[in-house]
Every structure is written in structure tokens, then in C-alpha cells.
Amino acid sequence: MKIGGGKQAAKAQAERVAVIYYPGRVDRKKLSAAVDLTISRLDFEPTLWLPTSADEPGGAQSLRAIAQGATHLVVVGGDGTVREVFEAITQAGVSDRVTVGIVPGGTGNVLARHLQIDLNDMRSAVKRAITGNRHPIDLGLARIIYEDDSRAEKYFAVMAGMGLDAKIMQKTDPKLKKAFGWVAYIDGGIKALPTIFERMTVSVDNREARRLKVVTIIVGNVGWLPGNITLMPTASLDDGILDVAVVGPRRFWNWIDFWGRVTFLQAIRENRQIRHLMDATANVKTLENLDGKKIRITPEQPVYIQLDGDPMGKVLEVEFEVQPRAVTIRS
């Protein structure tokens, strides 16, 4: 039986890799060798190489790559660079035309660590970024009102923070961060310490709004931080839900309680019912977990915000909303 009435079947789109990388933080020769090795037996078009810069940290490069026929974006960088790419392709409505693979090259690499990508094996990371399994994941959308009353819509994959964590990132010297990595945040922490507590009103979906005194509020899809710290034990990249961690220790022993909850008690807190019981019976709520599809946070005074580790300035209000299956990664 013939199919197609003798007409030639439409040719599938040729596959093409585009590598988005920061020249100052990667060995281009080693990276090129890893890419060539991976695609050597694949019928791919010539690879595109798109360096990032301070003025163009990744988003513009991803759109240029797609315009030139890229089907596989390989992002060599940290969480901030990956966020820029996710945001650009989502806002432009072209996220369904490409997959995104990650070769860790940043300070925290939280998303790469969560995906169990080897930080020290470039060849393995490149192979997974190009030929790994496809996984649609959620993004968070942050509708931000800044302190000057300007507005913006920003996307994030890992987590957003409002309060002390964002202030530390805002106060950290970028040059120290580049030179010393996570250690540089100690300097930012010292600068941020004069003010710790903030009062914020939080509403989740259609539940009653609550006014809270907090150190910081985290919203995200990844609940784990380097150092085996778990703030949101049930957070997931693909469950259509945003998880929330309300952090508010007020005294020394409350901090002891907090560190216990996010370290050795984390396995217990993975059970939602047990976690809710622990939160309800705590004398002082050092850590409370919430979840929902839409979260609105309104501070009494402007506070700093960070998205996937990138400081974004001070805000008056932010509405977070999950964007299910917004992008497809390879891992």
C-alpha cells in the first residue's frame, strides 16, 4: 500500500546545536571538543557559538540562535544565565521550538545540581545537554511592582526570594563573587545584617491573606540548596505548583530549630501531613511551608528581590504564578 500518492514526504527540520557561553569562564577548546564528540555521529547542521556579555547575558543569544535554526540550546553558565534564556524564549513564544541543556559554569549551579549534572565532567554534561531525555518543566512568573512604581514580568526556574537572602545578593560585590564563588556572600551578609526582619502580607490562591514578620520568603520549584539544606521538601520542577518557605526565626534557639528542620529533620518534613503538624505545633514558626498556583506578597516597606540568584532591586509587591510545562530541558 502506497502512502502519500507519490509525493515526497516533507523533510524534517534539520537539527542544530547552539552553544551559549561566557568566554571568560569556560575553556572554549575543551568545550568545543566535547560538543564535536557528542554530535560526530549525528546528522546535525554546523554548531552555532554565541558568547554572552554583561550587556547580553544570554536571552538575546537564544533568540538569535533559534532564528538561525537551532533546535538544541546548550547553556554554559550558572542559574542566572539559564534564567535569562528561559525568560527570553518564553516571552517570545518560541520555547516549543527548542530544548535547553545545561553545562554548569556558575557560582551556585542549583538547577544543575538538582538535575544531578556532574559539575566536574564537561564531556558528560555536554552529552546530556544535547542527547539527554526531554523533560518539560514549570517556570515561575513574577509580576513585579518596583519601588518607583514601574512594572515588569520576570521568569525563574529555581527560586525567588524576598527579604534577607535577596538583600545579601544585592550587597555582594560581583567581583568578589566571580573570584571566590559562594564565599563572597559572607561579605554581602555582613552588609545586610543591620536590618533582618520584614513585615509582609502573604496570600496563597484564594486563602485568607496573612501578615507575617519574616526574615525572608522563598517561592520556587527547587527546594534544595548547596550544603544539604532543604527549605521546601516537596518542591518539584513539574508538579504545576509553586512551593513557599516562610523563614522567621527571632531568637538564637529559634535558629537552632530552623537549622534542624532544614538539615537532619528534612526527611521527616517531606511528608506533607507531618510537616503541617510540625508547623502547627511550633511555639514560634521558624519555618513554615505553603504551596499554591498563585502567591501574592506585599511588604510594608520596599524589600529586595532575587530571581535564581540574580538581584532585581527593591519591590512594592510581587505576584507569583506557576507556568506549567513552560520549557523543555534535556537531562
Which CATH number characterizes residue 251's domain? Answer: 2.60.200.40
Asked whether residue 301 is assigned to any structural domain, the reply reads yes
The residue assigned the cell 544585592 is 170
> Do 286 and 149 form a contact (C-beta atoms < 8 A)?
no
Give the pLDDT of residue 229. Answer: 77
Could you give the number of structural domains in the chain?
2
CA distances for 301 relative to 41, 168, 297, 315, angstroms: 58, 17, 12, 9
Give the pLDDT of residue 197. Answer: 79
237-267 pLDDT per residue, tens: 999 999 999 988 665 555 556 556 656 555 5
Asked whether residue 6 is assigned to any structural domain, the reply reads no
Classified as helix, coil or strand, 95 is helix
Q: Across all residues in the chain, what is the average pLDDT?
A: 84
Q: Domain of 261?
A: 139-325
63 and 150 housed in the same domain: no
End-to-end CA distance of the chain: 40
Which parts of the chain are beta strand (E)?
15-21, 44-51, 72-77, 99-104, 134-146, 151-156, 159-163, 198-204, 210-214, 216-220, 224-225, 229-230, 242-247, 287-292, 294-299, 303-307, 310-330
172-221 pLDDT per residue, tens: 656 545 544 544 444 444 444 555 778 999 999 989 999 999 989 999 99
pTM for this model (two decimals): 0.85
Which CATH number characterizes residue 106's domain? Answer: 3.40.50.10330
CA distances for 14 relative to 32, 73, 239, 327, angstroms: 20, 14, 32, 20
Q: Which residues contact 29 (CB under 8 A, 6 or more apart)?
A: none
Greatest CA span in the chain, whole angstroms?
Answer: 79
Asked whether residue 4 is assigned to any structural domain, the reply reads no
21 has which bridge partners? 51, 76
Rounded to 5 degrees, what angle do the CA atoms 21, 25, 29 make?
70
